[in-house]
Chain A
Amino acid sequence: MIVCREVIAFLDDYVAETLDAERRAEFDRHLIVCRSCVAYLESYRETIRMAKAAPPAIEDVPPELITAILATLARNRGEG
């Protein structure tokens, strides 16, 4: 029977579903009896979701920035 230390060490593989079937079954057996690891697993998954869903406040590209970049590149071409 595997212990919490092993489950948490390889939790990324469990979440990514890259463990082989036998290993995954071992993890599943542990998770049936270990509330702490279930809580850890769920909060680990939530952490990934939260990181993904906390975007920068602004998403647009200001047209003046594009204009400024193109002007800088034009100057560089002129110097080249």
Chain B
Amino acid sequence: MNDATLVAGLRAGDAAAFETLLDRYSARLLRLARRFLDSEEDARDALQDAMVAVFKSIGSFESSSMLSTWLHRIVVNTCLMKLRSKRRRRDEIDIEEYLPRFLEDGHQVEPSEPWSESAESMLERDELRAQVRASIDRLPETHRVVLQLRDIEEMSTEETAEILGITPNAVKIRLHRARQALRALLDEHMKS
């Protein structure tokens, strides 16, 4: 069943179409929700809420859009609503403080030093993997979401822009700043 047939089935309220939808997309969408939300319970709730939203709004799905992009948008928005309702961003950083600073002549104020180990070898250690996740969580929501969609979910700039309702240029700027801030957060753990 291709996506167009699937959408027709969903619009007709066909139970088998919803089973196919979950079979095809639930793993990807739950993984996405798990990246956004701390608890497994919240991630599962988000997927369930998102699927109800899909059921209720499938009539407004425009066939010119990609189904997977539309589904991602609904899951991302559901997760963001959950995050905001919990007001949990207690240790979010001010991203400006984590961007490189420059002297008048254009050189960095604090020259960068090489990291002592490769990402591959560091990621073999559980505590470092947890550190990376915790550091991503500290990015401001506006930037964290872009990094999650672009670098982790490997969505294109255009898809990310469509999901978040911002311009592709805003995606590009936020991604670069998010990577720079994450790099700064990891720097102290990675330097020799």
Q: Which residues of A contact B (CB under 8 A)?
A: 3-6, 8, 11-12, 35-40, 42-44, 46-56, 58-62, 65-66, 68-70, 72-74, 76-77, 80
Contacts and interface: CB of A to CB of B under 8 A. Distances in A.
B110 to A, nearest CB: 9
B189 to A, nearest CB: 10
Mostly, the A contact residues are: helix
Nearest to B40: A58
Given A44-B183, A51-B182, A61 B26 contact: yes
B175 A12 contact: yes
A7 B22 CA distance: 45
B55 A42 contact: no
Those 4 A-B pairs whose CB atoms lie nearest each other, nearest first: A3-B106, A36-B111, A56-B34, A54-B132
Nearest to B181: A47
B82 interface: no
Nearest to A2: B106
B129 interface: yes
Nearest to B117: A46
A50 B134 CA distance: 12
B115 interface: yes
Contacts of B40: 58
Given A49-B120, A51-B147, A70-B19, A59 B31 contact: yes
22 contacts: A3-B106, A4-B102, A4-B106, A5-B102, A42-B115, A43-B190, A44-B183, A46-B118, A47-B179, A50-B123, A52-B154, A55-B35, A56-B35, A58-B34, A65-B26, A65-B30, A65-B48, A70-B15, A70-B19, A73-B51, A76-B55, A77-B55
